[in-house]
Each structure stands twice: as structure tokens, then as C-alpha cells.
Amino acid sequence: MSLTITLATARRILAQLRHDHRTLGLLVGVPSLLMILLRYVFDTPGMFDRIGPLLLGLFPFVIMFVVASVGTLRERTGGTLERLMTTPLGKLDLLLGYALAFGLVACAQIAVVLTISLTWLGLDLAGSIGSLVLVSVLGALLGMALGLLASAFARTEFQAVQFMPAFVLPQVLLCGLITPRDRMAGWLEAISNVMPLSYAVDAMRRVSRETTFSGGLARDVLVITGCVLLALLLGAATLRRRTP
């Protein structure tokens, strides 16, 4: 692994995103607009304070999945990855470069959304902002890692988007956002226990209610981090040259 190559990969991806205004609008503008809309949808006192932090963990996950899966597939089908594999660039350098670039984008995304939520929308947060940012960034990296993995199974950008029902929607339905996981049928709760988004939502719920960095929050953070690393390793296994 080379730090220089990893940083060069991250700079290349950030340069591409900087010139893609529509993607930047999707990454920053859409989550902010959704939070504003939901603030006035959940107009009952205290409701937005309970739902808002959970959505701050969900939105980066979903959007990063879409951007990473489509962007990586574009590089696969366009031959960019094929050419990069002929250089000293290693698989780990490439994936860490993606993680670093999208992690920085996630920080900017969350900074904008969180500023709007805490000021204009009046979100009341019991835990620390640092814990909220940490979990939000991990959620975004999780979506990015799963997007990289999903891109290996798609041949077109349309197919990459079609993988959302398989990779994202089951996790959204079973993560505890709609119904508490302990109230689900036993077999559904067992499935939710192995889905990483469940731990991201649990962590956000703890941040919204607990004033300290508890042991339960630390466990959730470790599980999410482990899932990100596992998804990156599985994604690295799909990076192969198609020509000798």
C-alpha cells in the first residue's frame, strides 16, 4: 500500500466530483431539502427531535450508495479501472482512495445538513455533535462500501440503481426506523441483527437520547466499522483485470 498513490486516487475522484454539479447537488442539496420537508411533516412537538437524528444517519447511507455504485460502474465500463490495474496502483490503494474521497464529501454533506438542522430547523440533540458526525460519516462510508460492492454485479448504470431494492430497501425496512426491532417477528429481528444499517440507526438513537459516549454506542460504532472494512475487502475481490 502506498500513501502517495492513495492520496492521488482520492484527489482524482474529488476532481471528478467537483466538475459534476448534478452529483454535488444530489450529495449536499437533496439531504438538506429532505430534512427541511420532514421538519414540517413531523410538526408534532418533539417528533422531529426523535426522527431527525435517525434520518441524518439514513440519508448519507442511501445517497452514498447510489453515487458510489454508479460512479464505480462508470469507471469499470469506461475502462478506467482496467487501465489503472496496469499501473502500480494496488486494489487497497484504490479502495482507500475512494473511502478517503467519499469520506471527505460525507463530512461536507453532513456539515451542511447538520448546520441547517441545528439552527434553522431547531433540532434538539442530547448527545454530542462529535458523536453524531462520527456515526453519520460511518453510515456514509458504509453506503459507499456497499455501493462499490454492488457495482461489481451490474453491467449498466440502470442496473446499478436497480440494486437499491436488494442492498438498501430491506435494511431501511428492518433497521428499526419504522418499527422497533424488538417488536418485530422473531425471524425478522434475527435478519435485522445481521444488517449493518440497524446498528447505524441504533447508534443515532443513542446519540439523540444519551449525553455520554456509552458502551452500547461504542459497540455500534465498532460493528459499523467492521462492516465497512468487510464490504471493502469483498469489493477488492471483484477488482480484476479483464484482459491479460
Single-letter code of the amino acid located at 152:
A
pLDDT at 219 (0 to 100): 95
Query: pLDDT tens digits for 144-198?
Result: 889 888 887 877 777 778 888 888 989 999 998 888 898 999 999 999 999 999 9
Q: Kindly give the residue spans of alpha helices, DSSP state H, lying in the chain.
A: 3-18, 21-24, 30-41, 47-77, 80-84, 91-118, 129-151, 157-162, 164-167, 169-174, 186-192, 196-209, 215-237
With bands split at pLDDT 50, 70 and 90, how would you rate the model's confidence at 244?
Answer: very low
pLDDT at 88 (0 to 100): 62
pTM: 0.86
Average pLDDT, the chain: 83
Position with higher pLDDT, 128 vs 241: 128
With bands split at pLDDT 50, 70 and 90, how would you rate the model's confidence at 107?
Answer: confident
Of 237, 238, 241, 242, the residue nearest 87 (C-alpha): 241
Q: How large a percentage of the chain has pLDDT more than 90?
A: 18
Query: pLDDT tens digits for 16-75?
Result: 888 888 888 888 888 889 889 988 888 777 888 888 888 888 888 988 888 888 877 777
pLDDT at 190 (0 to 100): 94
